Structure 1
Amino acid sequence: MFNVLSGFAVVIFVIAIGFGVGRFRLLGPNAVYSLNMFVFWIALPCTLITFMAKTDIAQLFGPNLLVVALSTLTTGFLAFLGYRWITRRSTEDSIIAMLACTYCNGSNLGIPLAAHLMDDPTLTLPVILFQVGFYGPLSVLALDMRTGKRNTNFVRSTLLTILKNPLIIGATIGIVISLLQHNTGFVLPSLFADPLGIIADATVGCALIAFGMSMAEVRVLQPELSPRRSVWAASLIKTVVHPAIAAFFGVVLFDASSQLLLAMVLLAALPTGQNVFTYAQRFGVNKVLARDTAVVSTGLALPVMALIMVLVS
């Protein structure tokens, strides 16, 4: 228990340092953007390549991926119906609320947390694969149809977005290396492996610092602007209901071991991802809810995830 709590204390401490750096603008006006771009385009792909090369590929497409899909779709369906019925808002507003309750921050926060707390950043890959390859594009298509902002090249642009995603590229390269190692005895030369490892080692620190810096620049739950009740409801669904449903599927359908169950529930407890705000902004619907839920759910997620690790492990 002490090790679990100390692990989360380290995460919170690094995020707090990032918050202080952002508050006092120690790295200049555009530092958050630059640091996030380094993490997303360079550090995270290197991390995935490094760890995927040592991973059993079959684990990616096993019960973990199924629980991610089932828990996300079930929670999303309930959230969509609840928001639509209680608030009487439009379908497109309800889609954004659904995403706020279910779409995880699997990359910028999920990978560093998995790497630090469970020594395996590839645990978040089922979430990334499901969201980037299916859930996100399907939601964008639904928003496209509802708002009338039709894109005649939707399928083409969606496929290009998926194929150009650096996390998908990094995971694919890692899978290829893993298959070569297992089937042919191929070993990645140290000339390539060592630089990848050095950059991968920077991922956790840079990602958490960047995350803390971004928190210093955001004002949320502003009176007369933010739908506070909806934000709190969405944040609680994301950090409490979603992982509870994931735990149900993990135990009932797959009789998951404690380690596998822990991974399933922690993934579901990740806070709302930034992509939800990106979608809301793109289609001009429910932007404040998307933005505020991402911030509030992050504040709730860390103590909830610490409690989950104590209870499950």
Structure 2
Amino acid sequence: MLNVLSGFAVVIFVIAIGFGVGRLRLLGPNAVYTLNMFVFWIALPCTLITFMSKTDIAQLFGPNLLVVALSTLTTGFLAFLGYRWITRRSTEDSIIAMLACTYCNGSNLGIPLAAHLMDDPTLTLPVILFQVGFYGPLSVLALDMRTGKQTTNFVCSTLLTILKNPLIIGATIGIVISLLQHNTGFTLPTIVADPLGIIADATVGCALIAFGMSMAEVRVLQPGLSPRRSVWAASLVKTVVHPAIAAFYGVFLFDATSQLLLAMVLLAALPTGQNVFTYAQRFGVNKVLARDTAVVSTGLALPVMALIMVLLHV
């Protein structure tokens, strides 16, 4: 238990440093964007290549991926129906609410947390693969059909973005290296592996600092503007209901225990990803709910994830 609490204390401390840096504007007005771009385009792909090249590929497409898909779709279905029925809002608003309750921050926050807390950043790959390859594009297509904004080019560009996503590229390279290593004994030359490792080591610190800085710049739950009840409800569904459903599937369908069950539940407890706000802004629906839920669910996710690790006795 002390190891769990100390692990989260480190994460919170680094985020707090980032928050202080952001409040004091020590790194200038565009530092958050620059740090996030470094993490997304350079550090995270290097991390995935480094770890994927040593990973058993079967783990990616096993029970973990199935639980990610089942728990996300189940929670999303319930969230969509609940929001539509309670608020009487439109279908497109309900789609954004569904995404706010289910779409995880699997890259910028998920990978650093998995790397620090469980020593394996590849644990988040099932989430990234499912969301980037299926859930996100399908939701965009549904929003496109409902809003009637003639955004066919946007849908096509979204699908094209999947192929150009640096995380997908990094994971693919890592998978190829892993397969080569398994079948031929090939390993990355030191002259390549060492630079990748150095850059990968920067991922956790830079990502958490950037995240803390971004938290210093946002204002949420503003009176008269934010749908506060819906935001809190969506945040609780994301950080409590979603992981509970993942635990149910993990235990009763796959008989998961120990580290596998922990990974399944922690992935589901990740907060709402920023892509939800991107979709809401692009289609002009439920923007405040998407933005505020991303922030509030993040504040709830860390203590919930710490509690999950304590309850599962890891």
User: Shared topology, TM-score over 0.5?
Assistant: yes
Using the TM superposition, give the Cα deviation of residue 298 of structure 1 relative to its aligned residue in structure 2, in angstroms: 0.3
Tell me: CA distance 1:156–1:281, structure 2 relative to 1, closer, same or farther (3 Å). Answer: closer
Q: Equivalents in 2 of 1:92, 1:153: separation in Å?
A: 19
The Cα of 1:156 is off from its aligned counterpart by 4.1
Matches within 5 A, 1:46-125: 46-125=46-125
- Per the TM alignment, residue 155 of structure 1 is displaced from its structure 2 partner at its CA by 6.2
Which residue is equivalent to 2:150?
150
Tell me how far apart the structure 2 counterparts of residues 235 and 196 of structure 1 sit (CA, whole Å). 36
Identity of aligned residues (%): 95
Further displaced range: 82-91 or 158-167: 158-167
CA deviations 1:44-81 (Å, max 9, x no partner) are: 00000000000000000000000000000000000000
Per-residue deviation at 1:256?
0.4
Could you tell me how far 1:154 is from its partner in structure 2? Answer: 6.1
2:144–2:155 contact (8 Å) kept in structure 1: no
Instruction: For 1:42 and 1:257, locate their aligned partners in 2 and report how far apart those are by CA, in whole Å.
Output: 34
Query: Displacement of 1:151 after TM fit?
Result: 3.4
Measured in 2, the distance between the counterparts of 1:158 and 1:282 equals 12
Question: Which residue matches 1:302?
Answer: 302
Aligned to 2:29: 29
| Rounded Cα–Cα distance in structure 2 between residues aligned with 1:11 and 1:166 | 25
1:93-144 per-position Cα deviation (integer Å, ceiling 9, x unaligned): 0000000000000000000000000000000000000000000000000000
Provide the rounded CA distance (Å) in 2 between the counterparts of 1:3 and 1:152: 50
Give the 3-state SS of the residue equivalent to 1:61 in structure 2.
coil
Distance change (3 Å), C-alpha of 1:155 and 1:97: closer
Question: What is the alpha-carbon distance in structure 1 between the residues aligned to residue 74 and residue 288 of structure 2?
Answer: 24
Q: 1:192 aligns to what SS in structure 2? A: helix
* Offset of residue 290 of structure 1: 0.3
User: Residues 50 and 196 of structure 2 are in contact (CA less than 8 Å); yes or no, is this contact kept in structure 1?
Assistant: yes
* C-alpha displacement of 1:159: 3.0
Deviation at 1:168, TM superposition (A): 0.1
Measured in 2, the distance between the counterparts of 1:217 and 1:300 equals: 18
**Residues of 2 paired with 1:152 and 1:56: CA distance?**
38
**Structure 1 position 258, deviation (Å):** 1.4
Change (3 A) 1:298 1:155: closer
In 1, Cα distance between equivalents of 2:230 and 2:108: 25
Q: CA deviation at 1:153?
A: 4.7
- Give the root-mean-square deviation of aligned CA atoms: 0.8
Q: Which segments of 5 or more consecutive residues in structure 1 lack a partner in the other structure?
A: none
Q: CA deviation at 1:6?
A: 0.3
- Give the drift of 1:150: 2.5
Q: Contact 2:280–2:290 at 8 Å: present in 1 too?
A: yes
Aligned partners of 2:50 and 2:174 also within 8 Å? yes
Distance 1:299 1:187 in 2: 41
* Aligned-residue offset at 1:152: 3.6
| 1:152-204 CA distance string (max 9 Å, x none) | 45664333111000000000000000001110011100111000000000000
> Residues 220 and 160 of structure 1: is their aligned pair in 2 closer, same or farther, counting only changes over 3 Å?
same
What stretches of structure 2 of length at least 5 have no aligned partner? Answer: none
**How far apart in 2 are the matches of 1:110 and 1:150?**
34
Q: Distance in 1 between matches of 2:42 and 2:153?
A: 29
Mapped to 1, the partners of 2:112 and 2:237 lie a distance apart of: 23
